[in-house]
């Protein structure tokens, strides 16, 4: 629990958090890099009812709801109600983001040499599955039509610079980030500065896997989403039934909270995905799970 009077505004993209205990305050000095403070776990979600719910709505209402949209909605709702998931560490200090932002990669075509585009979206507290779905579909369609976005153009330019310039450029960025002075033009739309970075491996028929965090930027949560498949599961009535399940692997910066906090946070995502009737609620609506 943090001190209310110890919050300071020192960055454009975050509010300073000073912990009342010495342990959290020294953690960034003990483990200064995000990649050396990773914890990873895989959780399986039973989405049988969710798949039926989306199929019925898609048929009756003409929507285009997909499992990826539902997972994004569940994750955004989890982050909203578990604020430590939206913390990050930069310059050896803790900060809390003002917004919930999700990012992912869009492949132009499902081919080996097809180009990839980075997507970045803000999820507001009043959004639900429908609005998240429309936002994702709209952004993906726009990017695939234009075949690029502003971040891609910036990376193409920077990537074309000679090696000595790149060394100086990224060395300067490292100093600016340490002091919380990174220009907005270089962070806006960058997945490395989002709350959560997702990789939908199910779209290429692969299961979820461990994916590292990055020392660049501030993103502290990485999620890979596996392929939807059927498994025989033992039900409460003692019978075995085929169920639609999906595996998600979470990689998180352990300096932000303990395993107890993360484990309880997953209960929100699990409840939302396994009770699709709550998908129509705003992500700010409390979830009836024991925390």
Q: Mind listing the pLDDT tens digit for each residue in 261-286?
A: 998 999 999 999 999 999 999 999 99
What is the per-residue pLDDT for 153?
A: 74
Q: Are 72 and 136 in contact (CB under 8 A)?
A: yes
**Tens of pLDDT along 34-80?**
999 999 999 999 999 999 999 999 999 999 999 999 999 999 999 99
Q: How crowded is residue 97: how many other Cβ atoms within 10 Å of its Cβ?
A: 21
Say if residue 252's pLDDT is above 80. Answer: yes
What is the per-residue pLDDT for 4?
A: 45
Helix, strand counts (H, E) of the chain: 8, 11
The structure's pTM equals: 0.88
For residues 58 and 105, give the distance between their C-alpha atoms in angstroms, rounded to a whole number.
24
| Of 229, 225, 156, 155, nearest in space to 196 by CA | 225
* 103 contacts: CB under 8 Å, gap ≥ 6: 118, 119, 120, 121, 191, 194, 196, 197, 198, 219
Task: Give the H/E segment covering residue 245.
Answer: strand 240-253
Q: How confident is the model at residue 189 (pLDDT cuts 50, 70, 90)?
A: confident
What is the per-residue pLDDT for 230?
A: 95
139: left (phi over 0), alpha (psi -120 to 50) or beta: alpha
Percent of the chain with pLDDT over 90: 67
Minimum mean pLDDT among 109-118, 159-168, 212-221, 239-248: which range? Answer: 109-118
Domains in the chain with CATH codes? 4-278 (3.30.559.10)
For residues 23 and 27, give the distance between their C-alpha atoms in angstroms, rounded to a whole number.
6
What is the per-residue pLDDT for 207?
A: 95
What is the per-residue pLDDT for 251?
A: 97
For residues 210 and 223, give the distance between their C-alpha atoms in angstroms, rounded to a whole number.
8
pLDDT averaged over every residue in the chain: 89
């Amino acid at each position: 629990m943090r001190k209310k009077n110890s919050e300071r505004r020192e960055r454009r993209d975050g509010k300073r958090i000073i912990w009342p205990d010495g342990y959290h305050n020294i953690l960034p000095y003990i483990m200064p890099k995000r990649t050396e403070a990773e914890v990873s776990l895989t959780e399986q979600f039973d989405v049988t009812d969710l798949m039926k719910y989306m199929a019925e709505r898609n048929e009756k209402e003409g929507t285009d709801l997909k499992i990826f949209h539902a997972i994004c909605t569940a994750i955004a709702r989890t982050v909203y109600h578990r604020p430590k998931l939206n913390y990050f560490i930069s310059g050896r200090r803790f900060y809390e983001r003002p917004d919930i932002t999700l990012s992912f990669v869009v492949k132009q075509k499902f081919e080996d040499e097809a180009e990839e585009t980075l997507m970045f979206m803000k999820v507001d507290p009043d959004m639900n599955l429908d609005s998240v779905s429309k936002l994702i579909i709209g952004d993906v369609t726009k990017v695939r039509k234009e075949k690029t976005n502003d971040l891609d153009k910036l990376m193409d330019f920077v990537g074309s610079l000679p090696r000595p310039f790149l060394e100086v450029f990224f060395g300067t960025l490292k100093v600016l980030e340490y002091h919380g002075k990174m220009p907005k033009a270089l962070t806006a739309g960058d997945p490395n500065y989002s709350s959560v970075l997702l990789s939908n491996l199910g779209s290429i028929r692969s299961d979820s896997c461990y994916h590292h965090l990055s020392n660049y930027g501030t993103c502290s949560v990485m999620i890979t989403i596996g392929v939807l498949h059927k498994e025989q599961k033992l039900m409460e009535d003692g019978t075995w039934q085929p169920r639609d399940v999906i595996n998600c692997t979470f990689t998180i910066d352990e300096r932000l909270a303990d395993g107890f906090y993360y484990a309880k946070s997953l209960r929100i995502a699990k409840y939302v995905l396994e009770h699709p009737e709550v998908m129509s609620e705003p992500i700010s609506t409390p979830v009836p799970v024991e925390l």
